[in-house]
Amino acid sequence: MREDRHIVGRRWRIIGDSVVGSSHRKTSSPCQDANRWSIIARGSGEVALAVLADGAGSARWSRQGAAIATRTVLRVLKPCITDSENAAFDANVLRAAIETARETLVRAAEKRRRCVSEYACTLLILVAMPDATFAAHIGDGAIVAENEDSLEVLSWPMQGEYANVTSFLTAHDVLENARIIDTRRVERFALFSDGMQHLALDYGERCAFKPFFEPMFAAVADRTYERAHLQSALRSYLDSPTVNERTDDDKTLLLGARLHG
């Protein structure tokens, strides 16, 4: 788990964690997921920024790739959000952040005389502004958002022609495959890696699984709960028998909710 120092907000609360999968524990392998988030002042409001990366299991240095990618995206996007209330923020800003993240991975690989594909990872980004929401997605995992009237999957997992095949940030044509979303204001959101897909998504109806999200969103939005308590409860849940019986992969879940009242 990585937190930005501006995590405490008046209008937003975010919790999240990355937990090693049971299959990785058997081989004493570390968790290859990474996540970062921040709550950033913008004019008279606040912006929630969440980033998640899942290192490819087949790539030797993917854990480092995921960590570098999330750190770079946060570093690039924060100044674009805080510049001024009237500063432009659009899909091109997300594309630039993706490009910079890939270039950073390329430089890291070159410095150590490695192939950049060894740093392969997916990437999910969400920027929730007072009146709009922007997101970017490369690879599997998914982004879910809730408004006052609906729960929807903003970005479904990217799957290739074959099972367990997806896109990665390290690809030379990453911008051609990146999914960029520009949509309305959201009240709550979730980003999660592929280790959580079968618990959080209804594949038959191709929608978000409401019984999974509704209690979690309600808890994060409830001011009577301390964030530290919610954070601890989330980690316990991600590492619980209930979850580990459904998936043996690494698991990351980021949850955000606007605070009212």
Identify the band that residue 57 occupies on the pLDDT scale cut at 50, 70 and 90. Answer: confident
- Whichever domain contains 144, its CATH number is 3.60.40.10
Q: Structural domain tally of the chain?
A: 1
31-44 confidence digits (pLDDT tens): 999 999 999 988 87
Distance CA 153, CA 48 (A): 18
β-bridge pairing 188-192 and 201-202: unpaired
pLDDT of 203-220, one tens digit each? 999 999 999 999 999 999
pLDDT for 5:
42
3 is a domain residue: no
Q: What is the pLDDT of residue 51?
A: 98
Asked if residue 187 has pLDDT above 50, the reply is yes
The pLDDT of residue 2 is 47
Is 151 within the bounds of a domain?
A: yes
Residue 36 included in any domain: yes
Confirm whether 63 is domain-assigned.
yes
* pLDDT of 175 strictly over 60: yes
pLDDT tens digits for 62-111? 999 999 999 999 999 999 998 655 568 899 999 999 999 999 999 999 99
What Cα–Cα distance (Å) separates residue 165 from each residue in 155, 238, 242?
17, 24, 26
